[in-house]
Structure 1
Amino acid sequence: MAAYDFTAPRLHVAADLGPGAVLPLDRAQANYLLNVLRRGPADPVLLFNGRDGEWRAEIAPTGRKSADLVVRERTREQPPRAGLQYLFAPLKTARLDYMAQKAVEMGAGTLRPVITRYTQGERLNLDRLRANAVEAAEQCGVLSLPDVPDPVKLPAALADLNPLCLLVFCDEDAAVSDPVEALRRGVADPAEPPPLAVLVGPEGGFASEERALILARPNTVALSLGPRILRADTAAVAVLALVQAVLGDAR
């Protein structure tokens, strides 16, 4: 039997969750469950709020187009938020949506927008960014929603990192032929890595003074992602897969 129920729809809710709780569905949620998915009375729905773990609930119709969810039992305990931070220069809307979703899927616990000289999308819609993070969590079984702080400029983002944190800097000019080995060399014990952060810049790259500032930070590893030029949203998937496989929770 599969360890996870992939058949039941999954919803993020704001309310506290516990046995016997009755949660009215809003219009959009009711339409999604009753009309789009064609679910009916007593059909299971998985609920999470980022605090109380995951719970199985059942649909209790209250009208032709409305229903409540009756919470039954907890299916998974609440884990702590993932420690991996993803620092990124905001992108244009469609690619930013994709990047946010994939970063959450790949295990980022923080999505931190960083303003650089060549950032293209400084007018960032944080509500949309957070909504994309929630959607990815709903679809992929994530229980701890990522933190999405306000944008900061690059020097402030670097200063805010724990000095013990290993910063993985995606640098197209890095002279690294083996990124796996570079990551392993960046920590004293690959079996017990320190807190991790990943930094991906804008599609125009980093200015020379920004690159110098990043490389001057202790506990920083500069990585090239290979001979091909990747879009920033593609680079997010590539570097997070690499970091998780070598030092993260995919080992």
Structure 2
Amino acid sequence: MPATPAWPPRSAPRLFVESELAEGQLITIDGQPAHYLSRVMRVSEGNAVILCDDKTGEWACRVVEAGKRHVNVETVERLREREQVPDLWLCPALLKKDRFDTVLEKATELGVREIRPVITRRCVADKLNADRAHMIVTEAAEQCARTALPGLTAPEKLDTFLRDFPAGRALFFADELGGSPTAKAFAAHGAPAAILIGPEGGFDDAEREAIRAHPQAKPITLGPRILRGETAAIAAVSQWMGASGDW
């Protein structure tokens, strides 16, 4: 006899929802997520959907009703508890919208716990659309099967960031003028940690001096080439995850 197909299938669509989930619960999905399920994924009664609530974990659900404006699903079983995310903050200077979108997306995929944007003197932007940013990290978490959304704070000026930086957390800052090799620095100081990345034009002299004067600051180098802000963020997080994270 043919083998019984696995349920839920690996191809089942994934969504984050705001309500806390429990077994046997009826959930109504509306708005854009309902449009995605019904019009894009074309789910129908009996199909599987995987929901995450950023609290209890990941749940396999069965579609009860698929309408044009809403989709009703019933939670069947919990597949995974909410994951333990490595205690790494990414603290990137704001970039142009499309480039910062990339930072948000890739930082989520790579597994950071929090994204804390900063504003420096050479930033080309000083605002962040919070709703858009939340949508980007949520969609990235859905795509890469995270069960925990990264925290996302409002942008703050560099001097405020340094003043309020918590004790006990290493502050690695990517300095194009040089520092310790990342492999050595990350191996010596694990979590909790934060990585501070500058804007396209880099930190100015006064900012660099203020960062280096911070008692928890640890200058690092990302190699002999000057990297764009989004490339530096991705490279630094990748190396930290390889040395101290969940890779």
The CA deviation string for residues 185-230 of structure 1, in whole angstroms up to 9 with x for no partner, is 4x3xxxxx24110000110110111101111122322122112221
Residue of structure 1 equivalent to 2:38: 34
AA paired with 1:227? Answer: P
**Residue pair 1:163, 1:218 contacting (<8 A) in 2 also:** no
Unaligned 5+ segments in structure 1 are: 188-192
Q: Distance in 1 between matches of 2:156 and 2:9?
A: 39
- Equivalent in the alignment of 1:238: 235
Q: Does 1:101 align with 2:105?
A: yes
Indicate how the Cα distance of structure 1 residues 32 and 89 shifts in structure 2: closer, same or farther if over 3 A, else same.
Answer: same
Residue 135 of structure 2 corresponds to which residue in structure 1? 131
Give 3-state SS (helix, strand or coil) of 1:156's partner: helix
The C-alpha deviation readout for 1:129-184, integer Å capped at 9, x for no partner, is: 111111111111111211111221112212322222111111111154x4312333
Structure 2 residues without counterparts, runs of 5 or longer: 1-5
After TM superposition, the score normalised by the length of structure 2 is 0.90
The CA distance in 1 between the partners of 2:87 and 2:176, in whole Å, is 25
Distance in 1 (CA, whole Å) between partners of 2:68 and 2:118 is 47
Aligned length in residues: 241
AA in 1 matched with 2:38 = L
Tell me if the contact between 1:168 and 1:196 (Cα under 8 Å) persists in the aligned partners. Answer: yes
Candidates 56, 70, 74, aligned match of 1:70: 74
Pick which of 237-246 and 152-161 moved more: 152-161
Change (3 A) 1:154 1:73: same
- Tell me if structure 1 keeps the 8 A contact 2:113–2:151: yes
Q: Distance in 2 between matches of 1:218 and 1:247?
A: 21
> Partners of 1:57 and 1:107 in 2: how far apart?
25
TM-score under structure 1 normalisation?
0.89
- SS of the equivalent of 1:25 reads strand
Matched, 1:197 2:194: yes
Aligned-residue Cα RMSD (Å) equals 2.0
Question: Are 2:86 and 2:246, in contact at CA under 8 Å, matched by a contact in 1?
Answer: no
